[in-house]
Structure 1
């Protein structure tokens, strides 16, 4: 595999699905200069014009849904029955951020003072560099691309080497919509080139979604530049099933939350704490539901669980499973039902592990695969302590019929988003953020616009 060439290996069959040259130094420099030059004119356009152009781009993108969905499946392995939903989600998030733009970007008014006009405007930060991952290649990218453009920034998108076609397809939609040249671009870059772009004087903000290690590299690359960075770095997300929970709803929701996208979700459920009276029945019902999954080729209509992104990733998941089993855990799922799950392939059987504890990697670190651990707890205090016993803090969930209890628990759990009776979901009206090793910053909601703009104060004195 050449260092000058990006090669995307499809997890479906191990074939080289995409080949692209990495950008040359001259291409990088040209893209940076075009973005910086185009941004000022783009920001000078009325907000309504920017919204119109971005809206057309979203419409063009959705028109190509079938082809985009298949491209996602072939690149990263999610079953084709589900990938069209990501295109719909891209559009829904984009349209929400467009709908709130007028409110989010209006100047901040301060109390009147005779003889003065005073307000705080929200100015674009300039050129936004978005670094997007493969696991939700559209939903992670749209979180920053659309609000950044609407706010008057130019955007350069670097997508994962696993999903380069997503960058190209998004770009095509914006070109068809008439976005001015240089306002939205993509670059295929290797790791060192990413560092070079972050260090470039033209870049005003970096939006990164990925690993903790990758987040550290972004911070180190931006050090001394005095620019903002948004870092969404994953999680090991917990759920707590209280004794008063709607039992069937909790089981069905949490099984889906653990195994959708083959567990390759930053906010997927990896740890479940169940009130002792429900524990035995919960485990049995969860195992029965999990045994109904169909692991197979994600292009087949009957497949509900596809491969993980690559064989090396599957080996990492298997290592986490081996660690848990060696420390006394037990898998209650019938692995024999999943014939495609074999060593040396990216196909991994789903696993539900009991007799687990926080000395196991499964319960204290992120594992991007279809595995979940379940522990019994005596009540709220024990659950809160265990939920917080993690280096991550992206989302957490409680299943209960008591909203007051949920709020009380939620205020004590260290997390960016707290759910009641749902999980593994992102509401664009709410800030998407995290604590601890999950990173910093926020996307979506009106708060997301604050990170893609800078305040500028106007203090005007009237003289006679």
Structure 2
């Protein structure tokens, strides 16, 4: 028996222990998914929607418990943890509502003597590998549309958030979903790779690191199956000179520091027009100073620990290296007693005098730090924003929406915003470019990755 231990970033203790699935358990799970999917694909869309909606009802009814467990597993302040339950509900219900139109047969123009149309057929068994940072919302992006499309799902959740997989399974059980349509496995890395290679797996959805995405591609190679890879970002924001400064600061700084910066689409680079740079920095520093770093189970805490000490030390290293190269750090870490080397608790930091030679402006930090550069005009801002190996989201803050839209069209990112950031609209495609991955979830287009087209070309006798 091999145990998986979840160390809580709150206090460094073991919060959850779970036995990893052995070969017999994995085989039973996959075989059960294949069998269940053969029947599930024959069910009506109305039946699928009823089960999925009942699952959401059962899930949100346990909001308080789910939020508390989330805080202990990955460190999000309890004051904000409940928002993820709301996000799960919004995305799930949104994808349920879109299913009828997204999965409807495509009827073609009449052609004498022929009937022609295209249907959307389920792929089979979908393996969903979900991360710890937004463990419910990232998982639901793929789970609900996969099941609505007629697939069976096997969820492999992060070892940091194993209870999230179990709670989703409990909600589906309460909803009466047929056995085998949704299952989860707690897996070792080697077993996850082997499962991706299993010929009975027809689709893989992965959210995580670039290295993790490469692992999925290696193991799926040669099988010609669909994969969806959401691999993070180094997302930029541009603050034009014409902004409502207070609103822009509040929006972009929340986008940088929410969840201790542990968001794939969090803002990690800010470019500010030189005419307002001093005023922006002054307000941004004041905004950061009002954050309360502390135990996330305390309702007064607004900045919790990072997921593990090693992650915090990685960001500390980026900051120290940048300062040594000439960057200015505006926040004194000494004012935060919990923030010490080797601790998961990390003081927030805002850096200026940075440039793209520094790791903090190139590598994904995934922590409570943001670098700010001054730019002369829109063209310089766009050039710097696109100077990245990543392209998940990008944001432009401006009062001139026409200009903002024109700049957004020039940005290399899967989602572009004006006057907001760090948000997923279920009706919009969630996708990335460059090392942020490939594939698409959410929106009507998200159903395309979970189905295959089948053409009917019927000649009348």
**TM score, norm. by length of structure 1:** 0.99
2:161 is the counterpart of 1:163: yes
Aligned to 1:113: 111
- 1:49-68 to 2 correspondences below 5 Å: 49-68=47-66
1:421 aligns with 2:419: yes
Instruction: Decide which of 244, 258, 261 is 1:260's aligned counterpart.
Output: 258
**1:427-447 C-alpha deviation (Å, 9 max, x unpaired):** 111000000000000000000
Q: What is the match of residue 104 of structure 1?
A: 102
Deviations 1:219-238 (CA, angstroms, capped at 9, x unpaired): 00000111010000000000
Name the structure 2 match of 1:80.
78
Segments of structure 1 that go 5 or more residues without pairing to the other structure are: none
Which of these residues, 393, 397, 400, is aligned with residue 399 of structure 1? 397
CA offsets 1:18-49 (integer angstroms, 9 cap, x no match): 11111000110110000000001111011000
User: How much has 1:5 moved relative to structure 2?
Assistant: 1.4
Cα deviation for residue 208 of structure 1 reads 0.2
Larger mean Cα displacement after TM superposition, 226-235 or 326-335: 326-335
Aligned partner of 2:224 among 221, 226, 246: 226
Q: Which runs of 5+ in 2 are unaligned?
A: none
**Residue aligned with 1:82, SS:** helix
Match of 2:362 among 361, 364, 374: 364
CA RMSD in angstroms comes to: 0.8
1:334 Cα offset (Å): 3.4
1:284 to 277, 282, 285: 282
SS in 2 for 1:7: strand
Q: Specify the alignment match of 1:40 in structure 2.
A: 38
Contact kept in structure 2, 1:97 and 1:147, CA below 8 Å: yes
Q: Is the 8 A contact 1:117 1:459 kept in 2?
A: yes
Give the Cα–Cα distance (whole angstroms) in 2 for the partners of residues 403 and 182 of structure 1.
49
Corresponding pairs, count: 461
Question: Offset at 1:336?
Answer: 3.2
Q: Deviations over 1:325-344 (max 9, x none)?
A: 11110111233332211111
Q: Equivalent of 2:315, from 311, 314, 317?
A: 317
Residue 123 of structure 2: which of 122, 125, 142 is its match? 125
Q: Distance in 2 between matches of 1:46 and 1:288?
A: 55
User: 2:254 aligns to what SS in structure 1?
Assistant: helix
Kindly state the Cα deviation for residue 394 of structure 1 after the two structures are TM-superposed. Answer: 0.2
Deviations 1:367-421 (A, max 9, x none): 0100000000001000000000000000000000111111211111100000000
The normalised TM-score by structure 2 is: 0.99
Per-residue displacement from partner, 1:310-357 (whole Å, max 9, x unpaired)? 011111111111111111101112333322111111000000000000
Secondary structure of the 1:68 match is: helix
After TM superposition, the structure 1 = structure 2 runs for residues 377-456 of structure 1, keeping only pairs within 5 Å, are 377-456=375-454
Q: Distance in 2 between matches of 1:143 and 1:234?
A: 15
